[in-house]
Structure 1
């Protein structure tokens, strides 16, 4: 199910997103940086989510009576959670392109004939018949705004939906950033796609140590990773860049990026890490090569398809949606890394609504660019004192996050 806000027309600009991102005056260095990021972030950013839903589900322990509120992003998390058959999932996003993508992915599960068709549509590149499948099974089932969005033609004359006949995961801001990273590596004599040929974790480690790690010592790469705007394509806003750069004496992210790429490359078998496949091969693995995301695995297809109507998608902010919820009505909250971008005022408004709407055993999960939680010292003690921080499980599950992008994974539990 989709809930259309009055301003959800896809032809309109992301005014809500702009308001959330801009914190400084335009004719300042920070203000210009925020506006450039906002311009880039106003398009499609994440065709695939880069938070590991398996870690989320281990932290949340979803039960059938649960009501979940999550940020949309690429939609993989929402669909993964649905495999646990919760009573309701509210999905929010300020980015209208993410809203349209989530509505399309949900409709694909509901209306494509079977599991193989859904995998073909969402996971297999260069499949022209996906467009025919969309026209035949999905388009007429979408709400008018979402259908118009995917039928809109760009400068090339192609409809937006045509990306599903090529490779949707090479599109969006992050997709283009990864393409640029591949180009930069090849200009230095390294082909990142060769990693997926590794036959063991030992070979993965060897590839990283001998081919990838030395790239971060190259002067140009060290220079480019010291520029905020060069990393906007990774979805790192100015606020997150400053937090991460503070970890380095050089104020460069080269060391941080090297460390996180090392985790992505070396800490998990390539067969089991579809995030690494997207980063290095630019696609999902075939059945003989490795495993698909949770939501695309055959054993979860029926649960997702049969419970799709329990999902409600909103073009709204997290705080805005929670303000419309009854007290003690929400069991699980998934904030992704959105708090890294927020001012103290925004954080306190958010946690005020979380605390008011939280059920007795509520759980909040989120990620941070740096290692530590950002709430202490910024959110009112009156609010935080109503929550327990599960430091032990946060650390344990953070290590297991296969996407390897974030520094910290955090779990807060409502006090009895």
Structure 2
């Protein structure tokens, strides 16, 4: 019998009304998703914070994932952030980050732990400063062993961002590229956006025309490593060959933003953040924000829960901002209606909802009951602008809805 966490994930991703083969794929994804998926999440927090316009006094409800955005939102001084996740590894990672922010001695230790995340000194820091303050469940997770027998906490000594489902997927992509005599790390030597474009056009773009790559990417299970379940695969493909879709998304990542301002490109092509004081980092890891993030870290409430269930247990008119990442791509119409019923009930005046989709358009029209959708205004022009400027580049759409005045 599946464990409780596995049942929660399965309930979120398995389409029980789908054909047998689709259900099998969904269950395979649920199994893959039970461990650490994202050591770093792939939603741009700078775009998020501009869209959300978080202000002092606001309460934020968000899906946690790897926690980069959760702790980055603290720089905007909300009263509380309630972060939820169905994945126990993500819950443990967020709890680790919160305790480390509060108890590591200074910014240098914090940066080494989470920005470099590849130094044996981090393990000593964990034992001395972090472990004594960590909750028992999270401590048991980090001091336990993964499927190949490695202590999970040792990831911070050997390169955390090379671990997890996504880290493994990126590593496999580097290996396949090397087998085709392509060095993805070469991209990081580019000095200008023009050089980035030249490398992409000459080295990376032709890779997606190879027959083997096109066949592999046509398999729905091929993108499990990106955290993309079969239902979201179909939305991402939108009737096109997946190799062409991935080439277009990689082109945006590689060519639309300068390397010195895009840590997502460093993760993709270098398997970690860049070294040195000038390397681009998420807001919560930047030295200029360290004091504020440390002073406000206790405002993060981390729950192992479903977003709809958490909101259902909350008071009416109790939240100002909602962040769903791309979770709605996984949902049935009934699940969408249940979620938005609770969002509408718990929303305060002026509330904002931000989410991403694999495909370009918002998924709500035609799927959400009119009585719910009519309570919200879609900010179409702003959403297109946020999509264009989202440095992670992997999503088709970034969407902002605001609660209409009564």
Change (3 A) 1:142 1:125: closer
Runs of 4+ in 1 over 6 A off after TM superposition: none
Contact 1:84 1:303 in 2 (8 A): no
Write the distance in 1 (CA, Å) between the matches of 2:142 and 2:18: 33
**1:411 and 2:403 are equivalent in the alignment:** no
Match of residue 127 from structure 1:
119
**1:311 and 2:300 are equivalent in the alignment:** yes
RMSD across aligned C-alpha pairs, in angstroms?
A: 1.4
Q: What SS does the aligned partner of 1:236 have?
A: coil
Contact 2:85 2:305 in 1 (8 A): yes
- Comparing 276-285 and 27-36, the one that deviates more: 27-36
After superposition, the C-alpha distances for 1:66-122 in whole angstroms (9 at most, x for unaligned) are 000000101000010011110000000001110001100111101100111101000
What TM-score results when the alignment is normalised by the length of structure 2? 0.97
Match of residue 223 from structure 1:
215
Match of residue 337 from structure 1:
326
Match of residue 7 from structure 1:
none
**Residue segments in structure 2 that go unaligned for 5+ positions in a row:** none
1:5-404 to 2 correspondence within 5 Å?
13-24=5-16, 28-154=20-146, 158-248=150-240, 252-287=241-276, 290-404=279-393
Contact 2:118 2:155 in 1 (8 A): no
Match of residue 4 from structure 1:
none
Shift of 1:288: 5.3
**Residue segments in structure 1 that go unaligned for 5+ positions in a row:** 1-10
Q: What SS does the aligned partner of 1:312 have?
A: strand
- Comparing 364-373 and 295-304, the one that deviates more: 295-304
Q: What SS does the aligned partner of 1:113 have?
A: coil
Change (3 A) 1:312 1:266: same
Shift of 1:188: 1.0
After superposition, the C-alpha distances for 1:343-375 in whole angstroms (9 at most, x for unaligned) are 000000000000000000000000000000000
Give 1 or 2: higher helix fraction.
2
Write the distance in 2 (CA, Å) between the matches of 1:155 and 1:411: 39
Change (3 A) 1:156 1:376: closer
Shift of 1:14: 2.5
Write the distance in 2 (CA, Å) between the matches of 1:388 and 1:13: 35
Shift of 1:287: 2.5
